[in-house]
Structure 1
């Protein structure tokens, strides 16, 4: 029976991974915490209520044609329990659209004790039981984010190892519960560091993450990596072309990511919507079919930013906001094929 269960587990993990990486589609990260969502609402002048959060998330998942470019949606623990105005659970609406539902399972970052200015992601306590509950609810993959800051004498080796170990332990629990883990070690854009420094830190982070994944017996074929691109700090003043960013990012990935990993879904991490699309496009143009893994997107802000500004919490703006979401996901699917261009941004 145990062997039979393991075989079924491997089959389910494989099916989910294939579905998430199919047909040049990407992932929609709709997994903002309540506090993050409220902050974005506040910045846009939208009242910070549970009903507004529910309405906004319904607007996203009911965007006509979303499934043409999106293979999976990452939900938050509030969202996975919500329903539309007619009482139909969001998770059913997502499944009915042929999109794979997923869930963010970390509970955010806290200060790393003894290491000033560094963060550790929390959420391992009780995670096995939460994952089982999410799986029963219909989730088929999960996400955990580690946030690595670059600054004077940071990140420390301990910060990198601690976060990599947590990511690997999370991934092991996911695969035990037949959920595909999205492994997200994000080297942050915050700061004034150079792209060279970002490369060095990202290389060390990714190498350490895969060391820890090996130690935890992770099936690499049934996971997706969600890394940052190689970018200078947002306060550095350094300017790089999309082609240079793509070149550096691919070089770093080739040095660190085993070919057994089936897909890499980039985070946007504060890039503007157009920057994120342009850089993803440059990577797919350079790589063509020469890489062992598929390159795709798992964007949050870069898919939502403009639509949220259009919506403003007003139902009269709903269709216009949905049209903007459709446009952005379509642009990023084109970037996955290397066919995105500035012409696509013209809205005549």
Structure 2
């Protein structure tokens, strides 16, 4: 899932999230439009076969069929990619922790994992959300989310499904890069402590963390190399070498920044894990705009998706350069 430069496409947007994405391009979020858009991505032969190793799906998508009746899961499998599934029920306000959230979805998860396995999923994803602000994160929220991630991972491994463990420290706010580092270090250490208590086999999981970046409202600008150095340092301090792969989320970064940061990390070298990408918006914003809900734009949408997937593939190999972005998709 994380080797050879290939990365994971996060196509697991919830109904409300995909509606926001479609609203931005003037497309109604209907069952058919959501299917057509994702079918367009999964039929992008070059992108799917050369640059994508797995696809995270939403509950609706893993059950959908293409226009010709082929299950979307089969399109992914035919591209020699692995289907996966988002299994959390989203972040909800956490009692006793004002301004913070707890991710729900553990109730009945064992049964749902068995069903998803039968539908073709071989890995899963659970996202915990950690915000940075005045007085937060609190230990109350952090430990609750870390324990939920560990319980989820244990259920996945019992079901023969690889868990993607995603503790995301949000890049909202005006905090600087050092504050992001400190919070991320705390989060990762607590998460791996809880994974140890839950007896998770680290060799059978993938970590999906945030990069160490300043908040989007921070006035301080940083270079790709600064982000890479701090991200690699915190990972070496917190993530055991037994973890085979780390697939970064893009958060609110621009397409090019998410690519450039990954490339700079690979170029540091001497890393004990395979580093790659697991991007949603940073892989999909361009193809969504190019497609715009029009069947005649499938080719343009697929070309834009292929271009972004290739850029991140090159970055995961340490072979990306900014001038590559100037080439036509």
TM-score, with structure 1 as normaliser = 0.93
Please state if 1:45 is matched with 2:14.
no
Whether the 8 Å CA contact 2:2–2:246 is kept in 1: the answer is: no
Q: After TM superposition, give the deviation of residue 311 of structure 1 in Å.
A: 1.0
For structure 1, which runs of at least 5 residues remain unmatched after alignment? Answer: 1-19
Report how far residue 75 of structure 1 moved.
0.4
Q: Is 2:261 the partner of 1:308?
A: no
Following superposition, the deviation at residue 232 of structure 1 comes to 0.5
Structure 2 Cα separation of the partners of residues 226 and 21 of structure 1: 11
- Residue 135 of structure 1 aligns with which residue? 117
Deviation sequence 1:195-235 (CA, Å, 0-9, x none):
11100000000000000000000000000000000010101
- Shift of the alpha carbon at 1:347? 2.6
1:329 to 303, 309, 312: 309
Describe the SS at the equivalent of 1:132.
Answer: helix
Q: Which residue of 2 aligns with 1:263?
A: 245
Any idea what the Cα deviations from partners look like across 1:222-253, whole Å, max 9, x if unmatched? 00000000010101122000000000000000
Alignment partners' CA distance in 1, 2:318 and 2:125: 26
Distance 1:134 1:296 in 2: 25
Other-structure match for 1:317: 297
Q: Hey, what does 1:227 align to over in structure 2?
A: 209
Q: Deviations over 1:27-86 (max 9, x none)?
A: 000000011001110111111211111111111111121220111000000000001100
Whether 2:3 is the aligned partner of 1:22: answer yes
Between the aligned partners of 1:149 and 1:23, the Cα distance in structure 2 is 33
Distance 1:139 1:173 in 2: 14
In structure 1, what is the Cα distance between the partners aligned to 2:94 and 2:218? 25
Report how many aligned residue pairs link the two structures: 327
1:80 to 55, 58, 62: 62
Q: Distance in 2 between matches of 1:163 and 1:203?
A: 15
User: Mapping of 1:235-274 within 5 angstroms?
Assistant: 235-274=217-256
Give runs of ≥4 in structure 1 deviating > 2 Å. none
Is structure 2 residue 122 aligned with structure 1 residue 117?
Answer: no
What's the CA shift for 1:23? 2.0
- Looking at structure 1, the residues matched to 221 and 39 of structure 2 have their Cα atoms a distance apart, in angstroms, of 38
User: For 1:232 and 1:108, how far apart are their aligned partners in 2?
Assistant: 25
From 311, 316, 325, the counterpart of 1:345: 325
Q: Which residue of structure 1 lines up, in the alignment, with residue 263 of structure 2? A: 281
CA RMSD of aligned residues (A): 0.8
Residue segments in structure 2 that go unaligned for 5+ positions in a row: none
Instruction: Report whether the alignment pairs 1:196 with 2:178.
Output: yes
- Structure-1 separation of matches of 2:137 and 2:238: 18
| Structural mapping, 1:5-20, within 5 Å | 20=1
CA distance in 2, matches of 1:124, 1:49: 28
Residue 22 (structure 1) shift: 3.1
What TM-score comes out, normalization by structure 2 length? 0.98
**SS of residue in 1 equivalent to 2:190:** helix
